[in-house]
Chain A
Amino acid sequence: MTQPFRIARGGQIDRSREIGFNFDGRTYRGHPGDTLASALLANGVRLVGRSFKYHRPRGILAAGAEEPNALIQLRRGNRTEPNIRATQIELFDGLECESQNRWPSLGFDLGAINSVFSGLFPAGFYYKTFMWPASYWLKYEAAIRRMAGMGRTAVEPDPDHYEHMHAHCDVLVIGSGPAGLMAARAAGRWGARVILCEDGPALGGSLLGERTAIEGKPAIDWVRSVEAELSGLPELRVLTRTTAFGYYDQNLITLVERVADHLPVPGPHQPRQRLWMVRARRVVLATGAIERPIVFADNDRPGIMLASAARTYTNRYGVKPGRRAVLLTNNDGAYATAFDLADAGVNIAGIVDVRPAPTGALPARARAAGMTVHAGHAVAISHGTNALTGVEIIQLNAAGDGFEGASRPLDCDVLAVSGGWNPAVHLFSQSQGKLRYDDRLAAFLPNQAAQPVTCAGAVAGHYSLAACLIDGAAAGASAAKAAGFGDGTPTAVPSVANEPEAPARTLWAIPRPAPGQGKRFVDFQNDVTVEDLALAKREGYRSVEHLKRYTTLGMGTDQGKTSNITGLAILSGIVGEPIPKVGTTTFRPPYTPVSFGAMVGPETGAHIDPVRHSAMHPWHVKAGARFVNAGLWKRPLFYPKPGETDQQAIDREVLNTRAKVGIVDVSTLGKIDIQGPDAVELLNRVYTNAWSKLEIGKSRYGLMLREDGIVFDDGTTTRLGPSHFLMTTTTVNAVRVMAWLEYWLQVQWPELKVYVASVTEQWAAAALAGPNARHVLADAVEGVDVSHAALPFMGYREGRIAGVPVRIFRISFSGELGFEVNAPADHGLAVWEALVKAGEKHGIMPYGMEALGTLRIEKGHVVGSELDGRTTPDDLGFAGMVSKTKDCLGKRSLSRPALMALDRKQLVGLMPLFKTEEIVRGSQLVANQNTRPPVPMEGMVTSNCYSATLGSSIALALVKNGRKRVGETLFAQSPLTGRSVAVKIVHHVMVDPEGARLRD
């Protein structure tokens, strides 16, 4: 017979269809509307996993997000996912999954031997193994990992895609139980923009698992009618299969919507999951409450479950959790489970009520129905191997810490346990709201909100249906009012029967029948027992936070939803202090685990960052350039020809530039347009050198310092008009320099009349360099004389190339005669092509970043790593660029003693003693390579390259007092390669030190 535990009728499943699924290699049948957990129970599968440490057989404890045991390896191949709660997996046809934490199989597990030797796995087991010889840990780790196995991640790329959504709303309602539905309806009726988010696939929350009547009809009918009304409200959005998992500052709530997890594979163009970032004016938390277990000896056998879960499986899924049930309770509410189970045909073997005299209406009803109520009794221990076969019950003493009389057995295959409720205050606590401990409910309740949030219903400690409905309506209406909608009048509340409940008896753990008999699990997922907590206390742990980490209580993927408060209460008993004094746990995001896919969203692969291309990019691609990332930019590294090695290509580009002419794309340099009567004053203040005397049509090299005197950036600035300048920055600092100028102009010097605007994107830039550069430019340009007389070194003119107006700067960083041509970006490609065409007869070749770097190093120009946030102008040989007659940013710092020290590292060049040797990048410089460590460091190599011009490896370096040490020999030691090269210190300008070439 298939599905032997399926009840003949009832439940919110689609009985017209049967679907197949596979668990641990066996196929079963279920219905649409089932979860994996309900379908497994329908098929009589109760053993679903092994515990983490002792490999004890475990079954399904809960019916929702709090499930600690039934963690499943879901799907196969590149879609496989570990640690998914069977209670939240919606069944689909063909679903394949496996249990976890078992080896070699679930039924026969070698790790279960840990249970026999459990003395070896005490609290703090991991930390204790760390303390043994370190080498042992590696061995343990491998073994522990295989035994523990918490599932496997997929090794192939995820085939699905994920989305991110940003949303704003007036009222965000989290949870769609009675309180959440009323809140959403109340706020929605006032016209507020509402988002209602529900964890499960259907609205209704706890009503789905209960057989309550609202307005004389089944609650589910009322849920449907509210749902219909909500769908007609244009400003209200319902998100099902959506978990609110994080509550951040200023009412930012993160939701994960499982768009396609209930399908075998997502549909075409359908994301698998969607991460929502919702900024809400007001939040209504209607997150309900989580039932808590009562701890007793061997309380973890498959068949032992929460009373609310047993009730939910029966009513919502039409599944009997067993054939013969015992109820263990400390409250009246759980009696409904016994009634519902009995109506479904489950034999009630007894109700074990720890209260000495349960006399309320519900116990009376139970007795009237012929059920035996064992008042003042407790379950001492459970029996069974891989599943529950019975329990021993015994009279509790008045204090609840011992027994009276003898125990007697009760046969059963399911034990429904209710130790009361913990309001699901997780999100409230994440919002920084303060909790208070309520003695009457023995629970932590929301107290003082830190953000615009209201708790409604069970999360606020209002457990009855009537209270939830009233609470929700009021919260929704007042949230709408606070957001500017309506007058706060709640909508009418439907009528419900209200059965009064007698008080509960607070009882967290039942004593063991005898010392050493059975294990009392507090945290099922991490196998933490009452005895572990006691041991940790004996070892000196008192702070809850320390105790949690030491014992791993509440540290699993379930974050202790069924164990934290119980553990805290038991600890309070052990240390003899009241619960609020012992403390509470800190709830942190995420409420339930969130996939990395949802977090990352669409920002994977090529979408991690935007890519910036210069206007000339298509030309570089066609020319076969190899590209390098410079920030977000793609820049040509070099242009290899067929058969060339990388170095040959670089050498060719360098030599051609020095002998004939090269062209390089410098569009990425930052460009800032500066205008206003105080433009010169601004330049004088931010640059070390003086700008007052710069003529119109002239450029000047400038150096910028941070306020601490360290070199920040360098570049040329050109005077285009009386109060109009164009500043250039390095590629990497383009954004930073812009924000820097804005800071000084807006915050410190608002009196300066000057505007700055970034024009990096507006201008494409090409640099010509080499002896033939002027011939190329002259052939390409119209309307301007570019002769030496008309356009001298550091001069500026405007002209036209290919009909496009261009800006021409006679500047050079290669040491060769050079020009930089700026064209409006839209025409950059046409201008570049015109220059290349004009250059053909002059031997032009494009060159890339490698050649550019080599040309700069040969000339001793800093290339980047010299500006490492530690170098002063003097360190880099720029002391002469610091004006003595005016102040500038950072200048005051230069006279601080540390920045004037005599042994500061200074920029020098390095050449190997033997030309064939290569100076390795990142080498440290030492005076004597045979000294025993610690070796005094003389400096370090900052930039290196092979110079085809000089036929030698060369480098720039920062060396202590380096300028005075030219001619000295040092050793460049590379710790990475283990190589040591003898190098000679030389002047940092290694090619054309007189600078004759660029001034011709």
Chain B
Amino acid sequence: MLLIDCPWCGPRDQREFNYGGDGTVVRPPDPSAATDEAWHDYIYIRDNPRGSHVELWQHNAGCRRWFKVRRDVVTHEMQGSAPIGRELPPKP
């Protein structure tokens, strides 16, 4: 059970949150102009890096804010949180 640092509410237990997937995915700015391959990558293809990872979480049983978390998926170390639009601390 992770301890997740909500940028608005502070550290809270994982059960208050929804996992929102890979936080590095970029939606093609003009979908109609995107190639089939680019769109396919956006929808289906995710990196699975060993180590530090950027994730999206929503504090659904709290302030309901979506935000970014940097987490090491090997050690489960929480390496920082940031509101959408702000930078996460760099990869350690």
Contact = CB atoms under 8 A, between A and B. Distances in A.
Interface of A: 166, 248-252, 277, 279, 432, 450, 707-708, 739, 742-743, 746-748, 750, 887, 891-893, 896-897
Contacts of A248: 1
A895 to B, nearest CB: 8
B64 interface: yes
A707 B27 CA distance: 10
A249 B58 contact: no
Contacts of B39: 892-893, 896
Contacts of B56: 743, 747
B75 to A, nearest CB: 6
A248 B14 CA distance: 12
Given A249-B3, A279-B13, A743-B58, A896 B31 contact: no
Interface string B38-61: 011011100000000000101010
B9 interface: no
A252 B14 CA distance: 11
Given A708-B43, A893-B43, A746 B84 contact: yes
Nearest to A746: B66
A736 to B, nearest CB: 10
A166 B12 CA distance: 12
B18 A249 contact: no
A892 B32 contact: yes
19 contacts: A249-B76, A250-B2, A277-B1, A432-B76, A707-B42, A708-B43, A739-B58, A742-B58, A742-B66, A743-B58, A747-B20, A747-B56, A748-B27, A887-B32, A891-B31, A892-B34, A893-B39, A893-B43, A896-B36
B31 A252 contact: no
The 9 A-B residue pairs with the shortest CB-CB distance in the complex, in nearest-first order: A250-B3, A892-B31, A249-B76, A746-B66, A747-B66, A708-B43, A252-B1, A747-B84, A249-B2
From B2, B43, B58, B85, name the one whose CB has the most chain A CB atoms within 10 angstroms: B43
B78 interface: yes
A450 B74 CA distance: 12
Nearest to A738: B64
Interface of B: 1-3, 13, 18, 20, 27-28, 31-32, 34, 36, 39-40, 42-44, 56, 58, 60, 64-66, 75-76, 78, 84-85
A748 B64 CA distance: 15
Q: A251, A279, A747, A896: which has the most chain B beta carbons within 10 Å? A: A747
A739 B43 contact: no
A746 B36 CA distance: 27
A896 B66 contact: no
Given A250-B3, A739-B60, A747-B66, A450 B85 contact: no
Contacts of A708: 43-44
A585 to B, nearest CB: 20
Contacts of A250: 1-3, 76, 78
Contacts of B42: 707
Given A742-B66, A743-B58, A747-B66, A249 B31 contact: no
A884 to B, nearest CB: 12
Contacts of B32: 887, 891-892
B53 to A, nearest CB: 14
Given A432-B76, A747-B20, A747-B56, 7 more contacts: A166-B13, A250-B78, A708-B43, A743-B58, A746-B84, A747-B66, A897-B36
Nearest to B42: A707
A277 B2 CA distance: 12
Contact of A750 (B18, B60, B64, B85): B85
Contacts of A450: 75
Contacts of A166: 13
A896 B75 CA distance: 39
Contacts of A897: 36
A250 B3 CA distance: 6
A746 B65 contact: yes
B3 A279 contact: yes
A290 B1 CA distance: 29
B58 A887 contact: no
B29 to A, nearest CB: 11
Contacts of B84: 746-747, 750
Contacts of A748: 27
A532 to B, nearest CB: 34
A743 B3 contact: no
A747 B2 CA distance: 22
A252 to B, nearest CB: 5
Contacts of A887: 31-32
Select the residue from A742, A892, A897 with max chain B CB neighbours within 10 A.
Answer: A892
A454 to B, nearest CB: 18
B64 A742 contact: yes
A251 B2 CA distance: 9
A746 B18 CA distance: 15
Contacts of B43: 707-708, 893
Contacts of A896: 36, 39-40
Contacts of A746: 65-66, 84
B1 A249 contact: yes
A462 B85 CA distance: 51
Nearest to A892: B31
B12 to A, nearest CB: 10
A252 B1 CA distance: 7
Nearest to B65: A746
Nearest to A756: B64
A707 B78 CA distance: 29
A167 to B, nearest CB: 12
A888 to B, nearest CB: 9
A445 B43 CA distance: 47
A715 B59 CA distance: 26
Contacts of B34: 892
Contacts of B18: 739
Contacts of B28: 892
Contacts of A249: 1-3, 76
Nearest to A251: B3
A484 to B, nearest CB: 15
A600 to B, nearest CB: 16
Contacts of A891: 31-32
A892 B1 CA distance: 37
Nearest to B78: A250
Contacts of A893: 39, 43
Nearest to A748: B27
A251 B77 CA distance: 11
A619 to B, nearest CB: 31
Nearest to B71: A249
A742 B66 CA distance: 8
Q: Which of B27, B31, B60 has the most CB of A within 10 A?
A: B31
With most chain A CB atoms within 10 A of its CB, the pick from B1, B40, B58 is: B1
A743 B85 contact: no
A223 to B, nearest CB: 34
A891 B13 CA distance: 37
B2 to A, nearest CB: 5
A9 to B, nearest CB: 49
Contacts of B40: 896
Contacts of B27: 748
A855 to B, nearest CB: 34
A896 B13 CA distance: 41
B75 A432 contact: yes
Contacts of B85: 750
A562 to B, nearest CB: 31
A525 B60 CA distance: 46
A229 B1 CA distance: 34
Nearest to A450: B75
A252 B3 contact: yes
A743 B58 CA distance: 8
A166 B3 CA distance: 14
B31 to A, nearest CB: 4
Contact of A743 (B2, B20, B44): B20
A809 to B, nearest CB: 27
B80 to A, nearest CB: 14
B71 to A, nearest CB: 10
